[in-house]
Amino acid sequence: MPKKHEIKKLYRSKKNRMIAGVCGGIADYFDVDPTLIRLLWVFGSLLSLGAGILVYIIAWIIVPEEK
């Protein structure tokens, strides 16, 4: 029998947290290094003239914290 597919959910990380755990949660979801996500987020924020900071704050509010 085929394995039942596990549905992944996005959560803010408690263990890979710098500010609110958003980047750590994204890294856990995609199974990549959290530092890479943080660097990409900072780079994207600089290129978008700070819009990434607003997106981070929105994600902080919307994405639930892991249990």
Please write the tens of the pLDDT for every residue from 27-47.
999 999 999 999 999 999 999
* Predicted local confidence at residue 55, as pLDDT: 92
Q: Write the single-letter amino acid at 40.
A: L
Between the CA of residue 56 and those of 1, 6, 17, 35, what are the distances in Å?
A: 41, 27, 13, 15
Structure tokens at 35: 């530092």
pLDDT tier, 58 (very low <50, low <70, confident <90, very high otherwise)? very high
Dihedrals φ, ψ of 10, to 5°? -90, 125
